[in-house]
């Protein structure tokens, strides 16, 4: 089944079993969410084709010399067909033939399910306020970029393992670097200046600290976060941060 995004006209190839009129789909090209429309009727549906007149009876097989000529002509024809098939086979099995002739796969739309809608609703309930961004001169990594802030739970239920994604953008809002980080851990300026990359990453993902600070975040509660980029990309003009994941705290 072929569907198209009404916003950017990008076409998608969707398995028939996933198609359902009215079901929502998200365009992986522009992010637009739209309901699937009823498929257009196929052209010519319900129109009967004219009945061909009965074919004339086959002429009788030629005799003698004519039979030999016809046999030679058929032999030459079969030989040409065989040679053409062989050339096509060689072209298809030659190295690189598949990549050169195969069409690029069409993008697959993201199907909106009730579970996805629930998660999206929960993510919107986390307020990041106005995160700060600054550059630190690390002893081994030189200039590192730090994005730091606080995630506040505006929902009516506790949540666990809030995760954010920070992006460094150029003047045209093109992402230069993207980094995800589970909340709950921040480093001191002294650690940012001295720790090598491996130890810094281990500290930011310390399981004990994450579980202590980033589980059962109650309504109105907050958890700190820090995202570290190990280099300052050339042309960076701005940054942004968004919540990308969390879990609902199990009810006891």
Predicted TM-score (pTM) of this structure: 0.55
- Do 26 and 17 meet the contact criterion of CB atoms below 8 Å apart? no
Is a pLDDT exceeding 60 seen at residue 218? yes
Structure tokens at 22: 């009215």
CA distance 83 to 162: 64
Structure tokens at 159: 């949540």
Phi, psi of 172 (to 5 degrees): -95, 15
Structure tokens at 236: 């960076």
Residue 244: per-residue pLDDT: 95
Is a pLDDT exceeding 70 seen at residue 92? no
pLDDT digits (tens, 9 = 90+) for 140-190: 988 999 999 999 999 999 999 999 999 999 999 999 999 999 999 999 999
Q: What angle do CA 229, 234, 238 make, to 5 degrees?
A: 70
Mean pLDDT over residues 127-131, rounded? 95
Q: Is residue 136 helix, strand or coil?
A: strand
Per-residue pLDDT band for 27 (boundaries 50, 70, 90) equals confident
Looking at the chain, the number of H-run helices and the number of E-run strands are 6, 12
Phi, psi of 203 (to 5 degrees): -65, -40
Per-residue pLDDT band for 93 (boundaries 50, 70, 90) equals low
Please enumerate in sequence order all residues whose Cβ is within 8 A of that of 65, keeping only pairs 6 or more positions apart, or say none: none
CA distance 181 to 227: 6
- Do 21 and 36 meet the contact criterion of CB atoms below 8 Å apart? yes
**Residue 135: Cβ within 10 Å count:** 13
**Residue 223: Cβ within 10 Å count:** 22
**DSSP 8-state class, residue 16:** G
The whole-chain average pLDDT of the chain stands at 80
Structure tokens at 116: 């996805």
């Amino acid at each position: 089944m072929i569907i198209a995004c009404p916003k950017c006209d990008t076409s998608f190839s969707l398995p028939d079993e996933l198609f359902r009129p009215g079901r929502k789909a998200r365009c992986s090209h522009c992010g637009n969410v739209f309901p699937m429309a009823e498929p257009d009727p196929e052209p010519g549906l319900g129109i009967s084709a004219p009945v061909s007149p009965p074919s004339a009876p086959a002429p009788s097989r030629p005799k003698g010399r004519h039979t030999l000529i016809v046999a030679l002509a058929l032999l030459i024809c079969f030989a040409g067909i065989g040679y053409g098939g062989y050339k096509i086979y060689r072209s298809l099995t030659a190295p690189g033939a598949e990549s050169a002739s195969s069409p690029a796969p069409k993008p697959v739309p993201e199907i909106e399910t009730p579970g996805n809608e629930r998660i999206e609703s929960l993510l919107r309930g986390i307020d990041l306020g106005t995160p700060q961004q600054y550059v630190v001169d690390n002893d081994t990594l030189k200039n590192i970029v730090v994005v730091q802030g606080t995630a506040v739970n505006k929902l009516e239920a506790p949540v666990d393992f809030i995760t954010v994604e920070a992006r460094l953008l150029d003047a045209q809002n093109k992402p230069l670097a993207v980094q995800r980080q589970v909340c709950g851990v921040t480093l001191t300026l002294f650690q940012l200046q001295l720790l090598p990359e491996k130890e810094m990453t281990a500290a930011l993902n310390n399981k004990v600290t994450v579980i202590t600070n980033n589980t059962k975040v109650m309504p109105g509660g907050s958890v700190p976060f820090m995202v570290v980029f190990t280099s300052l990309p050339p042309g960076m003009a701005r940054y942004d941060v968004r919540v990308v994941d969390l879990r609902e705290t199990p009810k006891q």
